Structure 1
Amino acid sequence: MASSSLAKSITKFRPCFSLSGHSSTPLPSSSSSFSSAAVVSSTPDTNSSSLSQPQQKQRESRLSKWLLFLPGALTFGLGTWQIFRRQEKIAMLDYRRKRLLMEPVNINNLLSLEDKLDDLEFRRVICKGVFDEKKSIYVGPRSRSISGVTENGHYVITPLMPVPGLPDSVQSPVLVNRGWAPRTWKEKALEVNQQGSEQSSHTVPSLVQEGERSSWWKFWSKKTESLENEITPITPVEVIGVIRTSEKPSIFVPANDPDSRQWFYVDVPAIARSSGLPEDTFYVEDINENVNPSDPYPIPKDVNTLIRSSVMPQDHLNYTLTWYSLSAAVTFMAFKRLRQKTSRR
């Protein structure tokens, strides 16, 4: 009886022990619920990341495909641009050729068209006057091939001055590019000009000293003889040339230095200012073919050089074929690369 009553009392107090005791049975259920919730909550993130990665790969593959064809498109565009450049060059050379076939006119008839100087370029003109050698300007260095030997030199630009009393003479000064001369010719010309200026400066003092030493009539006779020797008849020069404008130098050509008289390219307004002439002075390139064999320098320009260019139409055609062939080769390589990628997959 005692044992049965003890068993009943234990069964009565068992719920109390289960509620108040530190039992671990309910904890696993709560932890399992939390872990399951975490798993459930993490499953959408993994699904979203798994969906975004293929999209990124597709975008990258598309971009890589376009980049493979980009060099072919660029080279194709360059080849097409060379075709347009060829057409422009053909039109430009035809324009020059037609202008040079026209009969030369007196430059005095074109003075009223100074505002349209660009329209007058490559027009053949006739100029008559006297060269002012002391104001010559040398543009260079410019090389020239003579019998297979390249020699350095300069272009000689000299003002052509009017001749009083000559009806066909130029009415205003004209800058004339007389042609090419070697460097040694330039040095000799500068020495002659310096000696001439020194002799002219010492002429009057020598005459005064002669007058002081001799009698009046003797001095007068010597003075008149010296004046007769100094006065030389003016012989006008006829220049057949072509109206031109200033050159457009490349980025590799140095800038002109008028103070030190160093000219690397033709700048007509600057050369005119340096020579004491108006900036709108006409600039003419001599193309006269009648050259004196005993004194050939400066050598006038050849007319055929005026209808030439550094890049001729045939060169543009060669460039076009080169760019198109390069475009075809690069595009073929791009297709081949894409086929390799698809076969690997």
Structure 2
Amino acid sequence: MPSRSRLLSDSLLSAMAALKLSRGIPTIPKCTPVFSSFLTSERNLQPQPPPPLIGEAAVASQTEEERGRWSKLLLFIPGAISFGLGTWQIFRRQEKIKMLDYRKKRLDMEPIRWNEIGSLGHNMDSLEFRKVICEGMYDEGKSLFVGPRSRSISGVTENGYYVISPFIPKAGDSDSVQRPILVNRGWVPRSWRNRSLKDSRPSKKPSDSKTTDLQVNGGSIWWKFWSRKPKLSKDTEHTEIPVKVAGVVRGSEKPSIFVPENDPKSGQWFYVDIPMIAQACGLPDDTLYIEDINENASATDPYPVPKDVNTLIRYSVMPQDHLNYTLTW
């Protein structure tokens, strides 16, 4: 028989357990040694935070981060440049379209007579790409050549020059120009410039020719008398028939960085600079400059070849080319 004290302790323990269950206090079972070892091993498998970098390890980590930033930047720069160039090509295309429309409208207008320009009060800067009709005479002695400029004939390219001559009024003719202008008469072969340079050179040793004449003719007074040429009067000198020119008002050319500078002293003209050419011809800086577009060229005398009107509404890089460049970028 169990003792009385043991029975009392067992009943007390059962009462305390019942009281805990009624209050909702969980009882923690005792862990077995196997379960406790499993928990310890699981804690050991969890990743531990890396130790702080010091010294060379920290410097190497910063270097790798900087390299990553630079590589991203180098990949971004080409894309940004391509985007910028493509956008610029789009804007440039729109500008070309507007300029071509402007030129076409100006060329479709009725031609203006040069003598009427002053009376109508036209601004010279606003006359570009307007057709002009004028009458007068060419001053061949002051012609100059701009070039070289190539021209393709039946697939064969030939180098030549643009010949620019002062167009002066004819005395006593009310229909002729009232003041001189500059006219780009068109393209001529290289031989024209060579012949002009040869004619402009002064003759060598003029005294030798006089000596030869005296030796041949024996210094005869009668020979001097008969060899005299009659002097031409001013009316006889200016018997040329006025020329009618149909042209388009143009401005100075804008050369690229690869085009050399003009050298008026040596007669080298690489691009059209109206004030400089006007000064070389003895004309004012604001002299009007037109390009001959007369299509009625003579078969027997084809030179100079006037400019084609269609070349005035063309660019070396057309709007379609800008669109192709945009797609390329």
2: CA distance, partners of 1:149 / 1:282: 34
Task: Please give the residue correspondences for 1:72-221 in structure 2 after superposition, counting only pairs within 5 Å.
Answer: 72-111=79-118, 116-189=123-196, 213=222
1: CA distance, partners of 2:145 / 2:311: 20
Deviations 1:211-232 (A, max 9, x none): x639x9x999x848x6699546
How many equivalent residue pairs?
Answer: 266
1: CA distance, partners of 2:137 / 2:193: 19
1: CA distance, partners of 2:70 / 2:230: 95
Q: 1:58 offset after TM fit, Å?
A: 3.4
Report if aligned partners of 1:114, 1:280 keep a CA contact under 8 Å in 2.
no
CA 1:146–1:129 in 2, change beyond 3 Å: closer, same or farther? Answer: same
Report if aligned partners of 1:126, 1:239 keep a CA contact under 8 Å in 2.
yes
Structure 1: 5+ residue stretches without partners: 1-43, 196-201, 207-211, 324-345
User: Which of residues 240, 250, 269 is equivalent to 1:244?
Assistant: 250
User: Which of residues 275, 280, 288 is equivalent to 2:281?
Assistant: 275
Give the corresponding residue for 1:330.
none
2: CA distance, partners of 1:161 / 1:231: 15
Report if aligned partners of 1:241, 1:285 keep a CA contact under 8 Å in 2.
yes
TM-score normalised by length of structure 2: 0.71
TM-score normalised by length of structure 1: 0.68
CA 1:316–1:239 in 2, change beyond 3 Å: closer, same or farther? Answer: same
Deviations 1:170-224 (A, max 9, x none): 11100000000001233345556779xxxxxx9xxx9xxxxx639x9x999x848
Q: Amino acid of the residue matched to residue 183 of structure 2?
A: V
1: CA distance, partners of 2:61 / 2:121: 71
CA 1:273–1:191 in 2, change beyond 3 Å: closer, same or farther? Answer: same
CA 1:48–1:161 in 2, change beyond 3 Å: closer, same or farther? Answer: same
Structure 2: 5+ residue stretches without partners: 1-50, 203-208, 214-220
Query: Percent identical across equivalent pairs?
Result: 60
Report if aligned partners of 1:243, 1:285 keep a CA contact under 8 Å in 2.
yes
Report if aligned partners of 1:89, 1:312 keep a CA contact under 8 Å in 2.
yes
2: CA distance, partners of 1:192 / 1:274: 18
Deviations 1:54-76 (A, max 9, x none): 45533442332232122122112
Give the corresponding residue for 1:257.
263
Give the corresponding residue for 1:292.
298
Deviations 1:233-291 (A, max 9, x none): 23111111011111111111111110111111111111111111111100110011111
CA RMSD in angstroms comes to 3.5
The structure whose RCO (Cα within 8 Å, separation 6+) is larger is 1
Q: Amino acid of the residue matched to residue 188 of structure 2?
A: A
CA 1:163–1:46 in 2, change beyond 3 Å: closer, same or farther? Answer: same
Give the corresponding residue for 1:233.
239
CA 1:227–1:65 in 2, change beyond 3 Å: closer, same or farther? Answer: closer
2: CA distance, partners of 1:315 / 1:247: 22
Report if aligned partners of 1:157, 1:175 keep a CA contact under 8 Å in 2.
yes
User: Which of residues 53, 56, 68 is equivalent to 1:61?
Assistant: 68
